[in-house]
């Protein structure tokens, strides 16, 4: 009997290759380039329509990730309440962000509010990623935390998902598995890619 990979395994293999390609491109940026481009991303905050009231889940950057904190600060100026994710078992919970001094290790090298912070349900989620395409598909880090968390949040109401990345992380097409969640938009230092508009023009 031929030893053929199932379609799911083939897709997962293609996704792993896409992840490596995008991460290599991101890793090639210098520290100064990452700082500058993260600041440029924040300039597009005013072009993003937030719900009212807005509860925005940011994230604490690790390794050579884009730094979403300048964008998060802009959202605060726009009246949004901020929270950060905490790894809890196989899921993410979100805690209201207070003073930076209250941050504790939150899993996988990230930081978030301690156990005294209020747990909240965000209606806007800034999503870290390894790679993305213009249809709103993303390659994460392979653990599925955000896919599960977004599915849970959507059970209680609409959630706007915003991928945050450098433009060099764009891929021609991201392999898609059944559990993958499509992003509403991706923001890079070059501007906003609105996934629905990209799909409508195909």
- What's residue 202's pLDDT? 40
Domain assignment of residue 84, given as a range = 7-200
User: Does 2 reside within a domain?
Assistant: no
Q: What pLDDT shows up at residue 8?
A: 54
Q: Report the alpha-carbon distance of residue 159 to residue 156 in Å, rounded.
A: 9
Query: What is residue 12's predicted lDDT score, i.e. its pLDDT?
Result: 82
pLDDT score of 30: 97
| pLDDT at residue number 2 | 45
Mean pLDDT by 10-residue block, N- to C-terminus, for the chain (202 residues)?
54 88 94 97 97 95 94 96 92 85 75 87 96 94 87 94 97 84 95 71 40
Q: How far is Cα 71 from Cα 67, in angstroms, rounded to an integer?
A: 8
Q: Provide the number of structural domains found in the chain.
A: 1
Look up the CATH number of the domain holding residue 178.
3.40.50.10420
User: From residue 140, how far is each of 76, 79, 91, 111 by CA, in Å?
Assistant: 26, 29, 15, 18
What are the φ and ψ backbone dihedral angles of 163, each rounded to 5 degrees?
Answer: -75, 135
CA 102 – CA 160 distance, rounded (Å):
27
Residue 1 lies in a domain: no
CA distances from 4 to 1, 7, 11 (A): 9, 9, 13
Distance, CA of 165 to CA of 32 (rounded, Å)? 16
Integer CA distances (angstroms), 99 to 11, 27, 53, 85, 164, in order = 42, 30, 21, 15, 23
What's residue 197's pLDDT?
Answer: 53
Helices and strands, number each (H, E), in the chain: 5, 12
Q: Which two tokens stand for residue 90?
A: 């196989």
Residue 39 lies in a domain: yes
Q: How many residues are listed for the chain in this entry?
A: 202
Residue 108, pLDDT score = 75
């Amino acid at each position: 009997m031929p030893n053929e990979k199932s379609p799911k395994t083939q897709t997962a293999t293609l996704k792993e290759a896409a992840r490596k390609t995008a991460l290599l491109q991101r890793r090639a940026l210098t520290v100064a380039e990452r700082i500058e481009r993260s600041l440029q991303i924040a300039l597009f905050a005013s072009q993003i329509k937030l719900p009212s009231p807005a509860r925005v889940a940011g994230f604490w950057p690790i390794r050579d990730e884009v730094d979403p904190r300048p964008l998060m600060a802009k959202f605060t100026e726009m009246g949004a309440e901020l929270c950060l994710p905490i790894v809890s078992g196989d899921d993410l919970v979100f805690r209201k962000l207070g003073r930076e001094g209250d941050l504790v290790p939150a899993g996988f090298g990230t930081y978030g509010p301690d156990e005294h912070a209020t747990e909240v349900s965000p209606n806007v989620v800034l999503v870290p990623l390894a790679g993305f395409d213009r249809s709103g598909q993303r390659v994460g880090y392979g653990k599925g935390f955000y896919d599960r968390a977004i599915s849970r949040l959507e059970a209680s109401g609409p959630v706007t998902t915003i991928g945050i990345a450098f433009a060099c992380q764009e891929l021609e097409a991201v392999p898609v598995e059944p559990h993958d969640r499509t992003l509403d938009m991706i923001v890079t230092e070059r501007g906003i890619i609105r996934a629905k508009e990209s799909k409508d023009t195909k």
